[in-house]
Structure 1
Amino acid sequence: MYTEEVFKRRSEVGGSIEVICGSMFSGKTEELMRRVSRARIAKVSVEIFSPASDIRYDKSALVSHNAKSIPSKAVEDAASILKLADGTEVIGIDEAQFFYDELPQVCQTLANKGVRVIVAGLDMDYKGRPFGVMPQLMALADAVTKLHAVCMKCGRQAMYSYRLVPNESQILLGEKESYEARCRECYNLDGKI
């Protein structure tokens, strides 16, 4: 296990907030899983959290679109992360756009305590608007990584999540039956922006 001295040294280095963002199918969850796996190799204590409202996969695992998975905890709200993260050195948070306004403060609190916080989420909704708390998290972040998918119309770099089904709700959980990645030009062809 970790000695008190090692934990103290790591905490003194200082925490950070890393944001991984992009459209659907851009590999955000996969990148979060890669970073968390590397932390585990380094023998760092890790916890991963996702919103309980995201019921597409598994409540006890983070699952990427390509079916890779890693154990995680589903939580009702961001405040629960603080309660469950005590003594953890790296916190991963997926689908951050589904958390409410308290998530940025939770991330700040954790980072100020010396925790490395890695957050992944959609930066824009299906209408191309900033999504949820993601703009605030990006502003607070020590580092932001924007990932891109492949446009399902033309094969270029995509940054938009195009909704295929008629539904005006900002939040509509779905996969390839409901969304596809689009580049700016192909997204605009259908009059979204």
Structure 2
Amino acid sequence: MKANLEGEKYRQGRIEVVCGSMFSGKTEELIRRIKRATFARQRVVIFKPQIDTRYSEEEVVSHDRNAVMSVPLSTSTEILEYVQNHTTSTEGYDFDVVGIDEAQFFGMDLVEVCNQLANNGVRVIIAGLDMDFQCTPFGPIPALCAVADEVTKVHAICVKCGALAYVSHRLVHDQNQVLIGEQTEYEPLCRECYKKATNK
């Protein structure tokens, strides 16, 4: 994508992934980066999975209750459709920054969606769980880490011993991989405390 006649500079697209366990500040970091971009008068849009209605149906909300407005969607292909449908420029997409929260709940095609956005000059900021409650790589996050320009691993604090948390330990008996929850359903544990809690 070359500079247009008005002299707009070429935008360097990139993919940034913020990952870790629950309660580690992933969404907080996403919101911080989004707010800085907004302050810099960049054109921003944030997406979240439609199934995540813990705090709000339309906002991305951190555990500390910081919030930004978002567009709830059910599939990752809808992200690309939204960006394309809200673009009037012929030189690339109209958005400078695309934020995606709880990205683990989107399908594997999110990787290609993010690559296409970044290849067209968009800064893509992704926040999500890298592992599920059984310490299994979660959804598209591992693949996104592989293609990302920058990966930030954040950590919660283990509620048992105070070490850096490794995993989100599920407190309720539900074997489904996807279970939207909070502190009554999950707790952050380090590797050793997780082994003790699960007898592994």
TM-score (norm 2): 0.90
In the TM superposition, what whole-angstrom CA distance separates every residue of 1:150-171 from its partner, at most 9, and x where no partner exists?
A: 1011111112100001111111
Corresponding letter in the other structure for 1:76:
S
Identity of aligned residues (%): 50
Give 2:152's aligned residue: 145
1:133 aligns with 2:140: yes
Residue 117 (structure 1) aligns with: 124
Q: Look up the equivalent residue of 1:61 and give its one-letter code.
A: E
Counterpart of 1:52 in structure 2 is: 50
Q: Deviation digits for residues 37-96 of structure 1, max 9, x if unmatched?
A: 000111100000001111212121101111111111101111111122231110000000
Give the ranges of 4+ consecutive aligned residues of structure 1 lying more than 2 Å apart after TM superposition.
3-6
Matched, 1:100 2:107: yes
One-letter code of the match for 2:179?
Answer: L
Match of 1:73 in 2: 71
Distance 1:190 1:111, change over 3 A: same
1:16-27 correspondence runs (5 A): 16-27=14-25
User: What is the CA deviation profile of residues 6-28 of structure 1, one whole-angstrom value per residue up to 9, with x for unaligned ones?
Assistant: 6x31xx24200000000000000
Q: In the alignment, what sits opposite 1:41? A: 39
Note if contact 1:59-1:73 (Cα within 8 Å) is conserved in structure 2: no
The aligned counterpart of 1:167 is 174
- 1:174 CA displacement: 0.3
The DSSP-based 3-state class of the residue aligned with 2:184 is: coil
Of the structure 1 ranges 182-191 and 102-111, higher mean CA displacement relative to structure 2 is found in 182-191
| 1:120-144, Cα deviation, whole Å (9 max, x unpaired) | 0000000001001111100010000
User: What letter matches 2:49 in structure 1?
Assistant: P
Residue pair 1:127, 1:192 contacting (<8 A) in 2 also: no
- The answer to which structure has the higher helix fraction is 1
**Structure 2 runs not aligned, ≥5 long:** 88-93
- Aligned mates of 2:81, 2:5 — CA distance in 1: 21
Match of 1:15 among 13, 17, 21: 13
- CA–CA distance in structure 2, aligned partners of residues 4 and 124 of structure 1: 46
Question: What is the CA–CA distance in structure 1 between the aligned matches of 2:188 and 2:197, rounded to whole Å?
Answer: 13
Q: C-alpha separation between the residues in 1 aligned to 2:197 and 2:59?
A: 36
What is the TM-score with the length of structure 1 in the denominator? Answer: 0.93
